[in-house]
Structure 1
């Protein structure tokens, strides 16, 4: 997917997903947020969650808070899930993530930032069938953008 096509957000109209894959510090989150801001500027609704924070919010004891999170996601045109696979999920968290992905499938666009290849997703989702179902739904209408190079943070660290 070229820069011009990406910047036009045409993937949103088609309910396509973006998987931003690459090393730590290469700009995946930065681009996902920029695309979310661009979507909002175009009158769309975008929501951003770090995956672990989303699961924690969905596990809240207050059903009103959980309902509010589901409503935010349901109303969004774009769901951004950052740090996909950075921390392992427990079985219930993985099930909740599957439900979110399934509800969004062909209904809205999802952007995922990750540094973990598909073959290792089972390591943080813990269930082979669940992992296969999530990958299947995400990949069906997705573009993968590869991020290479050195970490921006490391290259610009004050500790030299």
Structure 2
């Protein structure tokens, strides 16, 4: 190919936003020539590479937007360490059909049992399936809601959160919420009722959620909305983090 057509082709591919096509076409052309493949097979290979790379970039973008504190998959979770956790139920949830049905997931268990790891793994699975996800801690979310209310942009934030397919709220049981904070969180969850999926991790059993949300009336109304269409994962057992730490130390000394 002479220089002028090459420059023009590069310009067109950049305009069409086909970076993989641009990066790979010469190499694929050589491969197809060596294999005796025609122009249709050449174009088919390039289009397939572009689609694969585009999907990878879209997944990476969704993961970035989700604001996961770290990226963890279910493949790296040691289910044997938490025998009470129903592995088949978790793997079924990883298919993300519950999100399409606008159901909820509540993950219950003591600190250190891997609740956040499972939540991150299910959130990652949702991103890989093309779904918008948002991850936040309960404390961070409540602070954002209160700041938005004070700055008269609460409606905008609520609409933004309403746009995600899956909202993950990590550990609302760590600290009690103020009356205003609890009410704002309740309002957000109520708005998503049967409209968008929520996943909540908590180190408190349901009968102790009043300690976080303040009143039995508010807690009851909240649980009523969360548990109407719910999948519950129970992760009672020894500390998952402690077990992982011991295993790493044992490997280091062998």
Bigger proportion of residues as helix: 2
TM-score by length of 1: 0.91
> How large is the Cα RMSD of the aligned pairs?
1.9
Verify the 8 A CA contact 2:94 2:126 in the aligned structure 1: no
Larger Rg over CA atoms: 2
Residue 12 (structure 1) aligns with: 99
Post-superposition Cα deviations, 1:28-71, rounded to whole Å, max 9, x if no partner, equal: 1111111111111111111011001101011114334x455323
TM-score by length of 2: 0.59
Post-superposition Cα deviations, 1:11-39, rounded to whole Å, max 9, x if no partner, equal: 11111100100111111111111111111
C-alpha separation in 2, matches of 1:67 and 1:32: 27
Residue 53 (structure 1) aligns with: 140
Verify the 8 A CA contact 1:47 1:72 in the aligned structure 2: no
> Secondary structure of 1:144's match?
strand
Q: Work out which structure has the larger RCO, using CA pairs closer than 8 Å and 6 or more positions apart in sequence.
A: 1
Count of matched residue positions in the alignment of Structure 1 and Structure 2 = 159
Residue 162 (structure 2) aligns with: 74
> Secondary structure of 1:47's match?
strand
Verify the 8 A CA contact 2:107 2:201 in the aligned structure 1: yes
Give the alignment partner of residue 182 of structure 2, picking from 69, 91, 94: 94
Residue 21 (structure 1) aligns with: 108
C-alpha separation in 2, matches of 1:68 and 1:38: 27
The 5 Å alignment of 1:118-157 reads 118-155=206-243, 156=245
C-alpha separation in 2, matches of 1:74 and 1:125: 22
Post-superposition Cα deviations, 1:74-124, rounded to whole Å, max 9, x if no partner, equal: 100001010121110011011001101100110011100001111111111
Residue 47 (structure 2) aligns with: none
Bigger proportion of residues as strand: 1
C-alpha separation in 2, matches of 1:159 and 1:21: 28
